[in-house]
């Protein structure tokens, strides 16, 4: 039982092994990643028919493209002939994807449209309609954000995101609702994907220590006043903060225009939508922590900015985020150091067998944020592991559930001849 690796009832621990085990990593792909809704792209990246971006669902490469009828389609970026990647660009506009191995071509809906030497090789008996690129089982959109899942039985996206919406809506609203996604910038970190997913959901605790020198350089950190975090049974977690604190922090670290608004504690500071989409409120960094093995991740980082900014404001905004949250940003490089160090020191026999402390705030829910109307979430103070505990509780539920079995989209047709 994977649930035995976490204990939030009696003591408050997580087994260090979940950040290192190869066997658990393989299972995560067919349970956690196969059954969850995963972020693919934003509609602003796909304005015109033929526009496409590439994405990842766990370790599976995906092409997301705008169709001629205006719809959005996502397919597995793996050729049906010998399994080569058919599209090797990050984005573009095209009518067809041609595999660079033997030249099979697919239209942007994923239908096989051309096979070199079809007459000589397949004697005109190849049923091309049966060899389309594998479609992502379900693709749905929430406020311009496109998600996909392999699980036909998954709840609708709107229901899946339910308890993430106070954070996600706040993120989008404070950017004006109509956003442009710039990126992605991609970089590798030798660490487990769950560490940043947990951290961006819940870990405000690290800032004073991890970012001590960066904070000293910018003149200290605002004393947290009204800040709380919430956790939901769906595994989403967020820190919510009052606008006054955010205004102060933003003017200190220079990440662009500071937010305006009432002094309330309902705006998002940082959040994770289970399992691997994270973002930081106001300044706009958006991350997908792409798993690449138990001790390796590829970070895909975008900056969400209000659509239609004038060029100078746009440039300032992107520069501000790059200097603070990017592969070389003063805050993000501090964070990455922790994640890769944990992988380096934690893979030994004794380290993997040592339970880690997730006790902070256990039994001390904070009523400050308990009044998010209509959302079934629990809240705790900034210094509380409540979000991490919900994240790993959901993780263990999925790990203990059955692996998803993906049926082939159509049974592969034969040539009407028997193989010799």
Span near Fe ion by CB under 5 A; candidates 50-58, 83-91, 150-158, 331-339: 331-339
Residues 38, 58: contact at Cβ < 8 Å? yes
DSSP 133: P
User: Based on CB atoms, which residue is closest to Fe ion, 28 or 335?
Assistant: 335
CB of 105 to ligand FES, least distance (A): 9
Nearest of 68, 86, 66, 88 to residue 76 by alpha carbon: 86
Q: Which residue from 6, 32, 46, 99 is in contact with ligand FES, where contact means CB under 6 A?
A: 99
- Is 102 among the residues that bind ligand FES (CB under 6 A)? yes
- Given ligand FES, Fe ion, none, residue 99, with its beta carbon under 5 to 8 Å by kind, binds ligand FES
Length of the chain measured in residues: 420
Work out how close the CB of 87 gets to ligand FES at its nearest, in angstroms, rounded to a whole number.
11
Out of 19, 39, 104, 325, the only residue in the binding site for ligand FES (CB under 6 A) is 104
Catalytic, out of 17, 162, 203, 366: 203
Please identify which of the residues 102, 169, 173, 365 carries the catalytic annotation. 102
How far is the CA of 326 from the CAs of 169, 237, 289, in angstroms? Answer: 23, 22, 13
CB of 207 to Fe ion, least distance (A): 6
DSSP result, 176-190: TS-EEEEEEEEEEES
- Is 335 part of the annotated catalytic residue set? yes
Give the pairing type, strands 355-357 and 179-189: unpaired
Find, among 25, 13, 40, 24, the residue nearest to 297 by Cα. 25
Q: Nearer Cβ to ligand FES, position 82 or 95?
A: 82
Considering CB distances under 5 to 8 angstroms, the limit depending on partner class, which of ligand FES, Fe ion, none binds residue 335? Fe ion
Give, in degrees to the nearest 5, the angle at Cα 44 between 41 and 48. Answer: 105
Question: Is 203 designated active site?
Answer: yes
Query: Which of 344, 345, 284 has the alpha carbon at shortest distance from 318?
Result: 284
* Under rule CB under 5 A, residue 17 binds Fe ion: no
Q: Is residue 63 a contact residue for ligand FES (CB under 6 A)?
A: no
* Residue 114 annotated among the catalytic residues of the structure: no
Sequence-distant (6+) residues with CB within 8 A of 27 are 399, 403
Residue 56 touches which member of Fe ion, ligand FES, none, C-beta under 5-8 Å by kind:
none
Q: How far is the CB of 11 from ligand FES (least distance, A)?
A: 52
Between 100 and 410, CB nearer to ligand FES: 100
Burial call 374-393: b when 16+ CB within 10 Å, e when fewer: eeebbbbbbebbbbbbbbbe
**Residue in 334, 335, 366, 385 annotated catalytic:** 335
**Whether the bond into 275 is cis, omega within 30 of 0:** yes
Q: Which range, of 20-28, 102-110, 132-140, 273-281, touches ligand FES by CB under 6 A?
A: 102-110
The residue of the chain with the least Cβ separation from Fe ion equals 335
Residue 290 contacts residue 193 (beta carbons within 8 Å): yes
Distance CA 282, CA 301 (A): 15
Q: Give the Cα separation of 282 and 173 in Å (integer).
A: 9
Q: Distance between CA 115 and CA 126 in Å, rounded? A: 9
C-beta of 147: minimal distance to ligand FES in Å?
28
Q: Is 101 in the site for ligand FES (CB under 6 A)?
A: yes
The contact mask relative to ligand FES for 245-274 (x = CB under 6 A, - = no) is ------------------------------
Q: Tell the smallest beta-carbon distance from residue 115 to ligand FES (Å).
A: 8
CA–CA distance from 266 to each of 167, 203, 269, 272, 284 (Å)? 8, 18, 9, 16, 17
Give the CA distances from residue 27 to residues 22, 179, 399, in Å, rounded to whole numbers and listed in that order: 9, 35, 7
- Residue 385 touching Fe ion (CB under 5 A): no
162, 198, 335, 366: residue in contact with Fe ion (rule CB under 5 A): 335
Q: Among residues 46 and 86, whose Cβ is nearest to ligand FES?
A: 86
The answer to whether 102 is a known catalytic residue is yes
Q: Which of residues 75-94 bind ligand FES (CB under 6 A)?
A: 79, 81-82, 84
Q: Which residues bind Fe ion (CB under 5 A)?
A: 335
Active site residues: 102, 203, 206, 211, 335
Q: Which residues bind ligand FES (CB under 6 A)?
A: 79, 81-82, 84, 99, 101-104
């Amino acid at each position: 039982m994977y649930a035995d690796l976490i204990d939030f009832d009696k003591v408050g621990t997580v087994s260090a092994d979940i950040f290192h085990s190869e066997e658990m990593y393989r299972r995560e792909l067919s349970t956690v990643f196969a059954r969850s809704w995963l972020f693919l792209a934003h509609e602003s990246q796909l304005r015109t028919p033929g526009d496409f971006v590439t994405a990842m669902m766990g370790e599976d490469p995906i092409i997301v493209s705008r169709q001629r009828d205006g719809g959005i389609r996502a397919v597995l970026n793996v050729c049906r002939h010998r399994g080569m990647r058919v599209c090797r660009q990050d984005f573009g506009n095209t009518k067809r994807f041609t595999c660079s191995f033997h030249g099979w071509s697919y239209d942007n809906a994923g239908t096989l449209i051309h096979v070199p030497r079809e007459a000589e090789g397949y004697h005109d008996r190849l049923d091309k309609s049966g060899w389309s690129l594998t479609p992502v089982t379900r693709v749905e959109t929430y406020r311009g954000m496109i998600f996909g899942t392999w699980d036909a039985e998954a709840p609708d996206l709107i229901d899946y995101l339910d308890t993430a919406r106070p954070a996600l809506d706040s993120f989008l609203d404070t950017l004006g609702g109509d956003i442009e996604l710039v990126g992605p910038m991609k970089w590798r970190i030798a660490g487990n994907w769950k560490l940043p997913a947990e951290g961006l959901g819940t870990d405000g605790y690290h800032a004073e220590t991890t970012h001590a020198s960066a904070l000293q350089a910018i003149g200290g950190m605002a004393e947290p006043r009204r800040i709380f975090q919430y956790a939901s049974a769906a595994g989403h977690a967020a820190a919510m903060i009052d606008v006054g604190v955010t205004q102060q922090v933003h003017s200190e670290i220079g990440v662009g225009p500071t937010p305006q608004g009432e002094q309330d504690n309902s705006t998002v500071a940082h959040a994770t939508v289970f399992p691997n989409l994270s973002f930081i409120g106001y300044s706009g960094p958006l991350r997908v922590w792409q798993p690449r093995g138990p001790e390796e991740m590829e970070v895909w980082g975008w900056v969400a900015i209000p659509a239609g900014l004038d060029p100078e404001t746009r440039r300032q905004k992107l520069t501000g985020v790059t200097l603070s949250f990017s592969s070389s940003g003063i805050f993000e490089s501090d964070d990455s150091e922790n994640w890769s160090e944990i992988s380096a020191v934690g893979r030994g026999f004794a380290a993997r067998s040592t339970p880690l402390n997730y006790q902070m705030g256990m039994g001390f829910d904070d009523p400050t944020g308990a009044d998010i109307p209509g959302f079934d979430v629990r809240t705790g103070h900034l210094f509380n592991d409540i979000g991490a505990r919900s994240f790993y509780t959901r993780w263990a539920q999925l790990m203990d559930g059955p692996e998803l079995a993906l049926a082939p989209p159509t049974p592969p047709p034969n040539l009407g001849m028997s193989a010799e």
